A and B are shown apart, each in its own frame.
Chain A
Amino acid sequence: MLKDILKILENNAHASEKQIATMVGVSAADVSKAIKQAEKDRVILKYKTVVNWDKADGDSHVWALIEVKVKPEPDSGFDAIAERVARFEQVRSLFLASGTFDLLLVVVDKTEHKVADFVSQNLAHIEGVQATVTHFVLKRYKDDGELLDGGEGVKRQQVVL
Chain B
Amino acid sequence: MTTKKSPLGKLISDRTNKISPSGIRKFFDLLQGMEGVISLGVGEPDYATPWHISEAAVKSLEKGYTIYTSNSGILELRELTCQYLKDKYGINYKPADEILITVGVSEALDLAMRAILNPADEVIMTDPHYVAYDATVILAGGKPVMVPTSAKNNFAVEAKDIEAKITKKTKAILIGFPSNPTGAIMPRQKLLDLAAVAKKNNIIVISDEIYARLTYDGEHTCFASLPGVKNNTILLGGFSKAYAMTGWRVGYAVAPEEIITAMTKIHQYTIMCAPTPAQVAAIEALKTGETDVVEMVDDYNRRRKVIVKGLNDIGLPCFEPKGAFYAFPSIKPTGLTSEQFSEGLLKEEKVAVVPGSAFGKCGEGFVRCCYATSLADIEEALKRMARFVKKHKK
Main secondary structure on chain A at its contact with chain B?
Answer: loop
Is there contact, CB below 8 Å, between B28 and A19? no
Across the two chains, which residue of chain B brings its CB closest to A156?
B42
Is there contact, CB below 8 Å, between A25 and B305? yes
Across the two chains, which residue of chain B brings its CB closest to A7?
B298
Query: Which B residues are in CB contact (< 8 Å) with A27?
Result: none
Is there contact, CB below 8 Å, between B48 and A159? no
Is there contact, CB below 8 Å, between A159 and B42? yes
Within 8 A of B (CB), among A16-55: 19, 22-25
Asked if B200 lies at the interface with its beta carbon under 8 angstroms from chain A, I say no
Is there contact, CB below 8 Å, between B305 and A23? yes
Query: Which A residues are in CB contact (< 8 Å) with B39?
Result: 156
Query: Which B residues are in CB contact (< 8 Å) with A159?
Result: 42, 44
Query: Which A residues are in CB contact (< 8 Å) with B332?
Result: none
Across the two chains, which residue of chain B brings its CB closest to A8?
B302
Interface size class of B (residues with CB under 8 A): 20 to 34
Is there contact, CB below 8 Å, between B24 and A22? no
Is there contact, CB below 8 Å, between B48 and A153? yes
Most B-side CB within 10 Å, residue of A12, A23, A24, A160? A160
Across the two chains, which residue of chain B brings its CB closest to A159?
B42
In the bound complex, what is the Cα–Cα distance between A153 and B306 (angstroms)? 24
Interchain CB contact (< 8 A) of B306 among A23, A160, A161: A23
Within 8 A of A (CB), among B1-42: 22, 24-25, 28, 31, 39, 42
Instruction: State the A residues within 8 Å of B (CB).
Output: 7-8, 12, 19, 22-25, 153-154, 156, 158-161
Some 19 contacts from A to B, beta carbons below 8 A apart, are A19-B379, A22-B306, A22-B309, A23-B302, A23-B305, A23-B306, A25-B305, A154-B48, A156-B42, A156-B44, A158-B25, A158-B31, A158-B42, A159-B42, A159-B44, A160-B22, A160-B131, A161-B24, A161-B131
